[in-house]
Amino acid sequence: MIIKKLKLHNFGVYASTNEFAFKGKKPIVLIGGLNGRGKTTFLEAVLLALYGSNSFAYIESKYKSYGQYLRAYVNKEDNSHESYVELEFSMDDSDKEIYRVKRQWSASSVRTSEKLQVYKNGEYNQYLSDNWIMFIENILPSGLSNFFFFDGEKIAELAVGNTGNLMKEAIKTLLGISVLDLLESDIKRIITRLSKKHIKDSEVIEIEKLRTVRDKAAQQLLDMDKKISDLESQIEDINRKLEKTQQEYSAKGGDIVTQRQELFQKRAQLYAKIEQEKEILIADAGSELPLVLVRDLLYNIREKAEIEHDEKMLQSAIRKMKFVFDKFKEENSDKAEAASIFIDFFKKQSSNNKVEKIFNMSEMTLFQLQNLLDEKLTRTKNDVFYRQRQLATNEDKVDNLDNYLSIDIDENAIVQIYKEIKKLEKEKARLEVELELLRSERRSLNGEAIATNSEFNKMVEAYLAKVELNDDGDRVLKYSHIAINILKEYKIRLQKKKTEEVAETMTACYKKLANKKNLIDRIIMDPLTLDITYLNVKGEEVSKVSLSAGEKQLMVISILWALAICSKKKFPLIIDTPLSRLDSSHRISLIQKYFPYASEQTIILSTDSEIDRYYYEIMKENIGDEFTLYYDDISRSTTIKEGYFWEDKQ
C-alpha cells in the first residue's frame, strides 16, 4: 500500500482545504514542522481515514465518545463547522487499484454523525462504503496499525515496563492468537447456552457448580491482571514525575546543596595543591633556576674553561715529556739531539698558543658546570613549566568551584522539591511492594484457575462419556468441550513457535541499529504472557529501567520494525518525532539503516532540530517528497509548502 494523497478540510490546525500529494519514487517522505504545527494531526488524520472509531489514536484519547473526538478536530475558522479527511492510496506500485476513502462530519448540530464514502479507481463503490471496516481490517488489522504508525516520543515507555495490554493484543493479532481467543469465546457461549437446556440431574447440577467456580476463578484472574496493569501504569506515572522532579531539583541547584560539603572539601584539597606547587616553584627559584636567564653566558664560560683546562693539560704533558726526555738522553745519546729539537719546537708552539687563565676551574667544578648546562637546567625548566600548567589548571578548577558554589540558590524551594522527591520515592516503593504482593496473589489465583478448570473439564468429559448422545445438543456440547481443550493446547504451541521467530527478528533489527551491540545480545518473548526480556552476552537479564531514553526509543523502534516485518504486511510507515531522544550516532544509524528500508514508503514527521541540515544531507538521496508546515498566528492555522525548511520550493 502506498499513500498518494491526503486531503484535510478544516481538520485540527488545518483550516480550509489542505492537500499532501506524494509523487516521488524514493522511499522517504519528509514532513517538517515546529511543535504545534500539525505533524501529529497528520498521523491522526491517516488513522481516522482508515479506521474511524477503531483508530488507536481515538481509543487512547481522553474523549468518552467517538462523536466528541470528531467534534474536537473541527477547525471552526470559516464558521462552516464542516470537516473531512480524505485519503487516496494504491495497493502497489502498478496503480491498478486506487482507493479513495473520505470521512466527513459536521459540528453544527448537537449530535455528530459521520458520512463515509469509498471510491475505487475514481468511481463510488457502495459495497466498500458499507463494508469498509471489514475490508481495511483484512488489509491491515487496526490492532497492527501501531506497528506502522507511531509517535517516537510515546513509544519509548513501551521498552520499560511489561508489555502493555494494547501491545499484547497487537502481538496476538500478529500471531493469529486473537482469532483463536474469539473462537474460544464463541464456543464457550455455545456451551453455556446448551448447558442451560439440559435436564438438571445431580451430575449436571454439580457440573454447573464447578462451571461457576471456574468462571469465578477466571474472572478473579482477569480482575487481578487489571489491578496489576493499573498499578504498573501508576508506577510508570510516578517514574515520569520522579524524573521530571529530579531534573527540576538539579536545575535549581539541588545537586550543589547535596554536594556542597564535598565541593568545599575538594576546593580545600585544590588550595593545598596550589600552595604546594607554589612552594616548589619558590624553591626552584632559589636554586639553579635563575641561571636559565644567563644560559648563553654560562655556555661561553664553559667553552673558555674547557680551553683553559686543555692548556693546563698541555703544560702538564710538556713537563712530563721533559722529565722523560732526560732519561731518554742517558740511554739514547745518538738520538738526543733530534728529540731535543722536537721538544723545543713543541714548547715554542705551546708558547705561541698560550691561553690567559681567567677561571682556572678544577676538573670537578668544570664537570659540575657541564652537568648543569647539559641536564639540570633543562630538567628544572621543564619541571617549572609542568608545575606552572598544573598551578593554572588547579586555579581554574578553584574558580569553577567558586562560581558553582556562588550560585544563588533558593534553599526553601530546594527543600520543598527534595521533600516531593522523597514523597514520590516513598509512594513508588509502596506501590512496588503492593505490585509484588499482587503478583504473588496472582500466581495463587492462576493456580486455582488452572485447578478448577482442570476439575471442571474432567467432570464434563466423564459425564459426556457415559451419557447417550441422544440429540444434536449432546453432540455439540461434547465436541465443543473437546474443541476448547484442543484450542488451548494449539494456542500454547502456536505462541511458542511464533514468539521465538518474532524475538529472533527483534534481536536482528536491534543489532542493525544499536551502537552498543554488547549491551543487549538477545531479546526473548514469553510465549504465554508475551512479555519481552533483554539479555546480555552472559545470558543475564538487562534491567529495562537501566536503558537511557535514547536506548529505550531505539529498542522500541527495533521491536516495531520486527513486528512489521513478521506481519508480512506491505504498508506505509509513519513516524512522528523519530529522533528526539537519540544521540548523534544513533540518529545516523536510523537515517542510514532504518528509514530507507523500513517500508516502501516511510513518512517522517520531524522538527528542524531533529533532522537538521547535517542529517538532511545524509538522507537526501533517499527522499522522494518533502514538505514544511507553516503556522499563521493571525489565522491560527497551518499551511503546507513543498520543500523541507531551507529547501522551501515556494
Q: Which residues, in sequence order, are bridge partners of residue 14?
A: 11
Distance CA 61, CA 45 (A): 14
Angle at 236 between CA 234 and CA 242, to 5 degrees: 100
How do the residues of the chain divide into helix, strand and coil, expressed in percent and rounded to 5?
65, 15, 20
Are 151 and 43 in contact, with CB atoms under 8 Å apart?
yes
Q: Tell me, what's the pLDDT at 84?
A: 93
**How many H-runs (helices) and E-runs (strands) does the chain carry?**
19, 14
Residue reference for cell 457448580: 209
Q: Which ranges in the chain are annotated with CATH 3.40.50.300?
A: 1-148+572-650
Alpha helices in 11-121 (DSSP H): 39-51, 56-59, 66-72
Residue 58 makes CB contacts below 8 A (sequence gap 6+) with 47, 48, 66, 69
Provide the edge-to-edge strand list for the sheet that holds 573-576. 149-151, 573-576, 602-606, 28-33, 623-632, 637-642
Q: Which of 615, 432, 571, 425 shows the shortest CA–CA distance to 89?
A: 571
Distance CA 259, CA 257 (A): 6
Are 177 and 491 in contact, with CB atoms under 8 Å apart?
yes
Residue reference for cell 493484543: 169
Q: CA distances (Å), 147 to each of 83, 120, 138, 233, in order?
A: 28, 26, 16, 21
Residue 201 corresponds to which cell in the numbers above?
Answer: 440431574
Q: Mean pLDDT over residues 297-301, rounded?
A: 82
pLDDT interval class at 170 (50, 70, 90):
low
Are 532 and 135 in contact, with CB atoms under 8 Å apart?
no
Cβ-in-10-Å burial (0-12, 13-18, 19+) of 219 comes to exposed
Residue 594 has pLDDT above 50, yes or no: yes
Q: Which residues, in sequence order, are bridge partners of residue 82?
A: 106
Q: At what angle do helices 39-51 and 132-139 cross, to 10 degrees?
A: 110
Pick the residue with more confidence: 205 or 85? 85
Are 478 and 466 in contact, with CB atoms under 8 Å apart?
no
- Which CATH number is 179-254+411-494's, of 3.30.420.40, 1.10.287.1490, 3.30.1130.10, 3.40.50.1820? 1.10.287.1490
Distance CA 322, CA 343 (A): 8
Percent of the chain with pLDDT over 90: 5
Residue 410 makes CB contacts below 8 A (sequence gap 6+) with 252, 253
Q: Tell me, what's the pLDDT at 160?
A: 45
pLDDT interval class at 198 (50, 70, 90):
low
Mean pLDDT, the chain, as a whole number?
A: 78
Residue 478 has pLDDT above 90, yes or no: no
Tens of pLDDT, residues 228-286 = 878 887 887 888 788 788 777 776 666 666 666 677 778 788 888 888 888 888 888 88
pLDDT interval class at 20 (50, 70, 90):
very high
Read out DSSP for 148-192? Answer: TEEEHHHHGGGGTSSPPHHHHHHHHHHHTHHHHHHHHHHHHHHHH
Q: What is the CATH number of domain 1-148+572-650?
A: 3.40.50.300
Distance CA 238, CA 161 (A): 13
Lowest mean pLDDT among 20-34, 105-119, 483-497: 483-497
Residue 388 has pLDDT above 70, yes or no: yes
State the DSSP H helix or E strand holding residue 383, giving kind and residue range, or none if neither: helix 377-405
Residue reference for cell 466498500: 128
Residue 373 corresponds to which cell in the numbers above?
Answer: 648546562
Max Cα distance, the chain (Å): 161
Distance CA 288, CA 281 (A): 12
Q: Which of 367, 384, 364 shows the shortest CA–CA distance to 288?
A: 384
Q: Tell me, what's the pLDDT at 356?
A: 67
Are 484 and 245 in contact, with CB atoms under 8 Å apart?
no
pLDDT interval class at 197 (50, 70, 90):
low
Residue 380 has pLDDT above 70, yes or no: yes
Angle at 24 between CA 18 and CA 29, to 5 degrees: 65
Q: Which ranges in the chain are annotated with CATH 1.10.287.1490?
A: 179-254+411-494
Q: Tell me, what's the pLDDT at 163?
A: 46
Residue 485 has pLDDT above 50, yes or no: yes
Residue reference for cell 482545504: 17
Other beta carbons within 10 Å of 355: 14
Residue 262 corresponds to which cell in the numbers above?
Answer: 564535598
Distance CA 81, CA 73 (A): 10
Q: Tell me, what's the pLDDT at 193?
A: 63
Alpha helices in 406-471 (DSSP H): 411-466
Distance CA 508, CA 519 (A): 14
pLDDT interval class at 358 (50, 70, 90):
confident
Percent of the chain with pLDDT over 70: 76
Pick the residue with more confidence: 620 or 458? 620
Residue 196 has pLDDT above 70, yes or no: no
Residue 83 corresponds to which cell in the numbers above?
Answer: 470537516
Q: Tell me, what's the pLDDT at 159?
A: 44
Q: Mean pLDDT over residues 551-564, rounded?
A: 76
Q: pTM for this structure?
A: 0.55
Q: Which of 610, 614, 640 shows the shortest CA–CA distance to 151?
A: 610
Sign of the CA dihedral 188, 190, 193, 198? negative
